[in-house]
Homo-oligomer: A and B are copies of this chain.
Amino acid sequence: MESIIQHLEKVRTTGPLVQNITNYVVMNNTANALLAIGASPIMAHAPAEMEDMVNIVQSLVVNIGTLDQYWVDSMSLAAKRADDINKPWVLDPVGAGASSFRNEALIQLSKFHPTVVRGNASEIMAMAKVRIASKGVDSTHSSMEALDAGKELSSSLQAVVCISGEVDLIIQGDKVAEVANGNPLMARVTGMGCTATALIGAFLAVEEDAFEATLSAMTIMGIAGELAAAKADGPGTLQLHFYDALYQIGGGQIQERAKVSR
């Protein structure tokens, strides 16, 4: 738990700049979550300023939710720059598998060595399938199959893979940790997965060990969701209490509530 608390403290004291090239639906959510946790979000996507932006931020978040070709080009420019100058970046493969356009965008972006990939079980399985088609990852979505896909994807990309769900799995090659925090009501608020990815971006900005940074982000995400759900009557009130919880969460609550198994 100590490392989680230290990472949170470091986000709050250093206020890292986190660039987000993300989807239209959740831009507001993820900016608010980053501000609430103590980071400074920058949302920018114009090709002409991608290098300038990646140069000044501490980490990059790329989320393909509402992508089109213009945005894929921006994302590629930013990811390439991050890769070139060793800035950590996290990829959220929203809707992987839903169209060949998305799959091709993910193949393209994967070339720039994402530090972390975070998705739900079916997105990670779809992405692994695209990468390792010859091995035939099944399309059924049990968590054990997703775990295998996640391990394959982690090895193949040399990246940390996070599969979020009722239990979140954080995977680096054969190393796996589980986070069992969160609340089912979170699935009824749009962009909660995207918000998790943005928080991973904030923690990557202050902690070099990407596995530990991801573990900390997912644990805090889950606990904030629990604290918010305790005050909420539904998804509307959950969302706002969630930002309050990110803003208020302290070491004591992390100590008491974190359900992490390594």
Q: Residues of A with Cβ closer than 8 Å to B?
A: 23-29, 31-32, 35-36, 41-49, 52-53, 56, 65-70, 95, 98-102, 187-191, 232-237, 239-248
Contact = CB atoms under 8 A, between A and B. Distances in A.
A242 B243 CA distance: 15
27 contacts: A25-B43, A28-B191, A32-B236, A35-B189, A35-B235, A36-B235, A36-B236, A43-B65, A43-B66, A44-B95, A45-B66, A46-B67, A46-B69, A48-B99, A49-B100, A53-B99, A188-B247, A232-B244, A233-B241, A233-B244, A233-B248, A234-B244, A235-B243, A235-B247, A236-B244, A237-B241, A237-B244
Nearest to A70: B68
A32 B235 contact: yes
Contacts of A56: 98
A52 B236 contact: no
Contacts of A233: 241, 244, 248
Given A45-B66, A235-B243, 18 more contacts: A25-B27, A32-B189, A32-B190, A36-B188, A36-B234, A36-B235, A42-B98, A43-B66, A44-B66, A46-B101, A48-B68, A48-B99, A52-B98, A188-B247, A234-B243, A239-B240, A239-B243, A240-B240
A96 to B, nearest CB: 12
Decide if the interface of chain A is mainly helix, strand, loop or mixed: helix
Nearest to A248: B234
User: Copies per complex?
Assistant: 3
A103 to B, nearest CB: 10
B43 A24 contact: yes
B244 A48 contact: no
Contacts of A67: 46
Nearest to A102: B49
A191 B25 CA distance: 13
A50 to B, nearest CB: 9
Nearest to A67: B46
Of residues A24, A25, A41, A246, which shows the largest number of chain B Cβ atoms within 10 Å of its Cβ?
A25
A140 B29 CA distance: 31
